[in-house]
Amino acid sequence: MENNTEENATRINRLKLPGQADHKTVLVSHHLCPYVQRSLIMLMEKGIAHTRINIDLGNKPDWFIALSPLGKVPLLVVNDHQVVFESAVICEYLDEVTPGSLHPTAPLERARHRAWIEFASQSLNGVARLYNAPDEIQFARATAAIREQFLRLEQEVTGPWFGGESFSIVDCAYGPLFRYFDVLDGYLAEDLLAPCSKVAAWRKGLAQRQTVREAVSQDYPQRLETFLGQRQSFLGEQVRSRWTGRNHQ
């Protein structure tokens, strides 16, 4: 377990952040979770003072189980005890309580952005299928499915951000998705973004944005590689054999 349970419970219950009472914002997190990253990007984009508490999802603390209706991170705890869960809901809540919306105002455009946030979640499921694929055939199938999703995305992106000149909530959802490929690219036989120039440029822009960069710790690539190398999967095998190769150099 990464954090002491009682200590965390105390921090949740008795947290006193500097500044206004409405800055009492805690995000219960995990180092690698892409949904947590969405919420963190949003917190930083909106300049909201917050505290991040990482937990071990393999050994969830009791206070977290008690607080989290779905047992998932991210979990936003506001004013010491009010809980907001589900990253899309958290992002919209954070947007609504601060000036300068990162969502389009026109209902149809807003609906389109929400739909493409959901598309990002489905693409994350595709990434999980890729790293959990038990054999080469299923790995290739999962890779092909992601290639198709990126081609779809190419038709939707305006650039430099998803909807054009303004960074929006939907951009918060894609930074963490593309970040996986900073590590996965080293294990794929092809550049999945080669046919998608707009998505490729968008990915680059997201990787350079300060809030996207700061949503993870500096050791994120090593943590992700360790996570991947622990999978009993085709990719896990590739990662482990690289480790063995490195150790024999």
> Which one is catalytic: 33, 91, 172, 196?
33
**71 is an interface residue for ligand GSH by CB under 6 A:** yes
**126 is an interface residue for ligand GSH by CB under 6 A:** no
Written as one string, the DSSP assignment of 8-44 is HHHHHHH---SS-GGG-EEEEE-TT-HHHHHHHHHHH
**123 is an interface residue for ligand GSH by CB under 6 A:** no
Which of the residues 76 through 95 are near ligand GSH (CB under 6 A)?
86-88
Query: 4 in the Ramachandran plot: left (φ > 0), alpha (ψ -120 to 50) or beta?
Result: beta
Burial pattern 67-97, b for ≥16 Cβ within 10 A else e, equals bbeeebbbbbbbeeeeebbbbbebbbbbbee
Residue 33 annotated in active site: yes
Stretch that binds ligand GSH, among 66-74, 96-104, 175-183, 221-229 (CB under 6 A): 66-74
Out of 27, 33, 169, 170, name the contact with ligand GSH by CB under 6 A. Answer: 33
Can you tell me the distance from the alpha carbon of 42 to that of 177, in angstroms, rounded to the nearest whole number? 15
Out of 72, 113, 179, 231, name the contact with ligand GSH by CB under 6 A. Answer: 72
Out of 15, 48, 57, 67, name the contact with ligand GSH by CB under 6 A. Answer: 57
Angstrom distances, CA of residue 124 to CA of 5, 52, 117, 238: 29, 22, 11, 20
Which stretches of 33-135 are DSSP H helices? 34-45, 62-67, 87-96, 107-132
Can you tell me the distance from the alpha carbon of 223 to that of 157, in angstroms, rounded to the nearest whole number? 30
Out of 8, 12, 28, 35, name the contact with ligand GSH by CB under 6 A. Answer: 35
Cβ of residue 110: shortest distance to ligand GSH, in angstroms? 18
Out of 61, 74, 126, 236, name the contact with ligand GSH by CB under 6 A. Answer: 74
Stretch that binds ligand GSH, among 2-10, 29-37, 153-161, 209-217 (CB under 6 A): 29-37
Tell me the three state secondary structure of residue 138: helix
Closer CB to ligand GSH, 35 or 202, in the complex = 35
> In this structure, what token pair is assigned to residue 38?
């969405």
Task: Return residues touching ligand GSH (CB under 6 A).
Answer: 30, 33, 35, 57, 71-74, 86-88
Q: What residues act catalytically?
A: 33
